[in-house]
Amino acid sequence: MDTIRPNGSGVTLIPCANPFAQFQTHERAIRSGIDRVLQSGHYILGAEIAEFEAAMRAYMDVPYAVGVASGTDALAIALRAFGIGAGDEVITVSHTAVATVAAILMTGATPVLVDVDPNFYTIDPGRVRTEITPNTKAVIAVHLYGQAADLDALMKIASDYKLKLIEDCAQATGARHKGRCVGTFGDAGAFSFYPTKNLGGIGDGGMIVSHDSRMAETAYRLRQYGWDDKRETFYPGFNSRLDPLQAAILSAKLPALDVDNKKRIHLASRYTTGLADLPLIAPAVRPDSQHVFHLYVVQCADRDNLRNYLAGEGIEAGIHYPKPAHKHGGYTERMRLAAAGLATTDRLVSRILSLPLYPELTGADVDRIVDAIRRFYQAHLAGDRDKVA
């Protein structure tokens, strides 16, 4: 199977992510699932959704799972299901996909953005405590890059202040903390099945998981206009149904999720070993947690030059994210920033670089990437190691 593709110059390109390679890996099962949906004649909700929800309940070890149209909708519907809306505040981070903040705004609530921990890049629990007001109703913990936020501390805060804790697991499907899947610790977990995710579809998709029966029942209604089983609406809802084709694709791929995540972990370890003596900061792994490396993100002082050099070598590196949420013009007037500021977030933006990582990446690909990075430092930064951190 090809894990690289040619570009216009004839140099083979290693992409940062490769959902097409995932399709090739699971093609037979995916095509079988798609054909099953087409032959069923049932193209909205139905048995395919119910079966995938059941599979996710079993995998996550939770009683409730609600398939929705996207990870953004999963967050927004979870918030709405808890009655959170206009006049309420939801604390989260700016160092995340802007979708996290967009979901809060979809409910009419106000995002309150706090800084991240400088080692793990996830929400800093100490900063959360300082921003709680009488209007605070929830905290969204983003499990960034494939690893859990500090769930123990966040659960204590949620309990102390009677807040809802919602886990944004878009980048961490299959990640674990103390042996349990992320998404099962808080009041709800929200997942994205965007094609590049650890469990990705061929299009959009999302899911809410929970132990809360009332929340789950409300979410089931909210995903389809607020309807009950008799199609009677008691409150406004969304049109946010998981597509049966996506459910079939995801059902085909779910059995391989843990194996694929182990491949990611192995490749990440190979990166860390190969880059160990260079002026880079490798990802830190939180104790008692399993990092599933949706992204392998390093920090370096000369990020843009390194990225350009890698591009010239046929290696696509990404930046997640080049602009934090509080710097997006369409959002700035609708959020509140932490009084303590976002110094760590602002510093990370110019230093982070995502190296290629996906299950179909080979060890030889990683070696090629590591060799290119080593050549960059040998040529451009020899003797300049004091630039790191």
DSSP run (H or E) holding 190: strand 188-192
The candidate with the shortest Cα–Cα distance to 255, out of 74, 68, 71, 51, is 51
pLDDT in tens, the chain (389 residues): 344 444 455 668 999 999 999 999 999 999 999 999 999 999 999 999 999 999 999 999 999 999 999 999 999 999 999 999 999 999 999 999 999 999 999 999 999 999 999 999 999 999 999 999 999 999 999 999 999 999 999 999 999 999 999 999 999 999 999 999 999 999 999 999 999 999 999 999 999 999 999 999 999 999 999 998 899 998 899 999 999 999 999 999 999 999 999 999 999 999 999 999 999 999 999 999 999 999 999 999 999 999 999 999 999 999 999 999 999 998 888 999 999 999 999 999 999 999 999 999 999 999 999 999 999 999 975 555 444 44
Within a 10 A sphere around the Cβ of 363, how many other Cβ atoms?
10
Q: Length of the chain, please? A: 389
Cβ neighbours for 288, distance < 8 A, ≥ 6 positions apart: 177, 178
Phi, psi of 99 (to 5 degrees): -60, -35
Instruction: Note the pLDDT of residue 12.
Output: 84
For 259, 304, 337, 382, the CA distances from 325, given in Å and listed in that order, are 33, 20, 10, 35
Domain coordinates of the chain in residue numbers?
Answer: 5-21+256-387, 25-255
CA 17 – CA 2 distance, rounded (Å): 13
Range 259-266 contact pairs with CB under 8 angstroms and sequence separation of 24 or more: 259/359, 260/198, 260/359, 261/174, 261/175, 261/198, 261/292, 261/293, 263/359, 264/146, 264/198, 264/292, 264/293, 264/294, 264/357, 264/358, 264/359, 265/290, 265/291, 265/292, 265/293
Supply the pLDDT for residue 234.
Answer: 84
What does the pLDDT read at residue 382? Answer: 57
For residue 66, give the nearest of 77, 194, 226, 139 by alpha carbon: 77
What contacts 24+ positions apart, CB below 8 Å, involve 222-225?
222/77, 222/80, 222/81, 223/66, 223/67, 223/68, 223/69, 223/73, 223/77, 224/45
CATH class as words, domain 25-255: alpha beta
- What pLDDT does residue 291 have? 98
Torsion sign (Cα): 245, 248, 253, 257: positive
Helix (H, G, I), strand (E, B) or coil at 104: helix
Name the residue among 303, 246, 307, 279 with its Cα closest to residue 389: 279
- Rounded CA-CA distance 279/52 in Å is 44
Q: Note the pLDDT tens digit of each residue in 22-41.
A: 999 999 999 999 999 999 99
Give pTM, 2 decimals.
0.95
Domain 5-21+256-387: which topology?
Aspartate Aminotransferase, domain 1 (3.90.1150)
